[in-house]
C-alpha cells in the first residue's frame, strides 16, 4: 500500500482524500439509518518497529522498586558483618604461615647405588658388541 501511495501524483492524492471523506460521510449516514453506532476507523499502522511508548501502553506501568529505610539498614549491617568475617579470616591466615614440607634427602649409600645402576647397564651393553 505504501509503495502505491508514494507513486501517486498530488492530484491523485487529493482525489483519494476527497473520496475517503465521502465514504466516511456515507458510512455515518448509513449508521444513522440503521441505528448502528459509528465504529471508530481502524488506525493505520505504519510499517516498521513499534515505538516504545505504544508498547509500554499495552503493559501496566511499573514503578521503580524501592527498599524501605529499615531494609537498607539491615542490608548495610549484613554487608559489614560479611566483610568483618572476611577480614578476620585474612588475619588468621597471615598470622600463621603455612608449614613447609621438610626437604627430602637421599642418603649417600642410596646415591652411590643409583649411580652404579646405569654403569652396570652400560657395561653389559659394551660386552655384547
List pLDDT tens digits, range 7-64. 788 888 888 889 999 999 888 888 888 887 656 666 666 666 666 655 555 566 678 8
Burial class (CB in 10 A: 0-12, 13-18, 19+), 27: middle
pTM strictly above 0.85: no
Widest Cα–Cα separation across the chain: 128
Instruction: Return the DSSP state at 105.
Output: -
Amino acid at each position: 500500500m505504501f509503495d502505491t501511495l508514494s507513486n501517486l501524483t498530488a492530484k491523485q492524492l487529493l482525489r483519494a482524500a476527497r473520496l475517503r471523506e465521502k465514504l466516511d460521510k456515507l458510512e455515518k449516514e448509513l449508521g444513522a439509518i440503521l441505528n448502528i453506532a459509528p465504529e471508530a476507523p481502524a488506525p493505520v499502522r505504519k510499517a516498521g518497529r513499534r515505538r516504545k511508548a505504544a508498547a509500554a501502553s499495552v503493559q501496566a506501568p511499573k514503578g521503580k522498586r524501592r527498599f524501605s529505610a529499615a531494609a537498607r539498614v539491615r542490608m548495610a549491617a549484613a554487608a559489614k558483618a560479611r566483610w568483618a568475617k572476611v577480614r578476620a579470616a585474612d588475619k588468621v591466615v597471615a598470622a600463621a604461615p603455612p608449614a613447609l614440607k621438610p626437604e627430602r634427602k637421599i642418603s649417600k649409600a642410596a646415591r652411590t647405588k643409583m649411580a652404579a645402576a646405569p654403569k652396570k647397564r652400560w657395561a653389559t651393553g659394551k660386552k655384547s658388541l
